[in-house]
Amino acid sequence: MSKIAQTPEPPYYAVIFTSLRTEGDNGYGEMTERMVKPASQQPGFLGVESVRENIGITVSYWSDFESIKAWKQNAEHLIAQKQGREVWYKEFKTRISKVENHD
Amino acid sequence: MSKIAQTPEPPYYAVIFTSLRTEGDNGYGEMTERMVKPASQQPGFLGVESVRENIGITVSYWSDFESIKAWKQNAEHLIAQKQGREVWYKEFKTRISKVENHD
């Protein structure tokens, strides 16, 4: 159950991942659960918000760009990314952005 | 029905609005429909993605920061923001971020 993430004062980074799923689970649910812990233990991880209806939006928050790059290269995450491209997602977009202010 | 937004090459801006609703509709559905057209007609508007389950995430994309400020000051939108704070949302967070790259 997703909540509104508690993040520090800007600047920090947000990775906006928007996706459209293929039909069927194909191990997707198991993978998302398996990814939560290593992601949240990454240095620089600040929080995550995730919602899915017809499309899914997952926004993860990070202290800096280097932490995002490190998570992108994580071994387990690389396997999940490959499965995502090949099996789980019909279409997706990843946007890396710098949060300049919030209220 | 939300889709993945088609956005130009970065840089551009993303407004990440995460919210937790109060119980009941209280005119919320009507307002969101009423806001779509004026928002999408604003100069600098690039697209929007929106999903709600327990929390809602709406990400709107803009060409520049000035366009975001102009939409925030739009008369109809100011009324909706006031209703949002007083009636529709238990909790919300608005983050303004600059998209630096995407794939």
What is the interface pTM, i.e. ipTM, of the complex? 0.93
Short-list B39, B33, B85, B84, CA closest to B61 = B39
Which domains, and CATH codes, for chain A?
12-98 (3.30.70.100)
A67 within 8 A of A45, measured Cβ to Cβ: yes
Mutate one of A97, A100, A103 to test the B interface: name it (highest B CB count within 10 A): A97
Q: Is this model's pTM higher than 0.90 or not?
A: yes
Cα B66 from Cα B44, distance rounded (Å): 8
Grade residue B1 by pLDDT with cuts at 50, 70 and 90. Answer: low
Q: How do residues A43-67 score in pLDDT, each as one tens digit?
A: 999 999 999 998 999 999 999 999 9
Of B3, B55, B100, the CB nearest to A3: B55
Give the tokens for residue A32. Answer: 């998302």
Number of A to B CB contacts under 8 A, please give it: 110
> B78, exposed or middle or buried, with CB in 10 Å at 0-12, 13-18, 19+?
exposed
A75-98 CB burial, b ≥16 within 10 A, e <16: eebeebeeebeeebbeebbbbbbb
Give the tokens for residue B85. Answer: 């704070």
pLDDT of residue B103: 84
Q: How do residues B54-103 score in pLDDT, each as one tens digit?
A: 899 999 999 999 999 999 999 999 999 999 999 999 999 999 999 999 98
